[in-house]
Structure 1
């Protein structure tokens, strides 16, 4: 198997560790293979969009989700390091409002599967980070919502980098909804 799969504290959120082949020339790994993904996870997914962002140290993007056209996301970092988080937004789920996390970096080559119905966000821990992700549905701005990153009801333990008292947020994330007021699935 070209990668191993480890469930997080939310069993549907998975961490994938690819097999990396390295030598004095550098490295190689398959970042995605549909057949192997399905065999390892039991999930059949069809990705329709790839996204790529670059962010500076201390930037927190998220926690984002769509109330219609929920997106599954396969996320990874190609430069730098982030603290990646998924929050279960499915109202009738036994893990509603709970979160799982993983440190993703270019060095560890880990990926995280964020299923549809989960909010997603990340905090940049390195000087900068390039973040890539595949989505199972398109982005629909009118359906996008933001969950408040520091909602006490979530109690996410964000590891703010040294010397940073508060993350840098987009305007929409600064006024995001707490879990108690957020639209759910």
Structure 2
């Protein structure tokens, strides 16, 4: 279900107020951009021409594009989680019935390439590259007789620029006691099972 912010509600109003054939064209272009992995749907020049064609200001045109893009991405996320055909009626949130039909038509046509492309993209700005060090301390000099294991993990994280090149790396050192380490393991197992379910 869409989380309706004020900006999204304004965007939905624009979708409803814009000529349906033009919404159809913009939606087709958004789907093509998503399925090809392009981050920009229209060039600056194309956006200017589209604004004139729609009779909207440049900001309204951008808001229309971003609203359509946001709705399709949300439908994609629901599809990946639930593994069922996207039911756009659940996401309608004030969109008129004829526009919902257009969303459904475009989603049905473009779902597979969009899902495949968005699965390849990272949702996080940083990615785990390597676990650089694992150290387990079972006792200390001040507590020689008491066993209280402590694990140290060094995680190497990287972030990439828009061009896909390595922008920066960061090392994060984490310390866990026995219970925390077991909780981390359980969470990683849950994440892995969710990832396996997406295949």
TM range (shorter): under 0.3
Q: Which has the higher contact order (CA 8 A, sep 6+)?
A: 1
Question: Higher Cα Rg: structure 1 or 2?
Answer: 2
TM-score, normalising length: structure 1: 0.26
Q: What TM-score, normalized by structure 2, do the two folds share?
A: 0.24
In proportion to residue count, which structure has more helix?
2
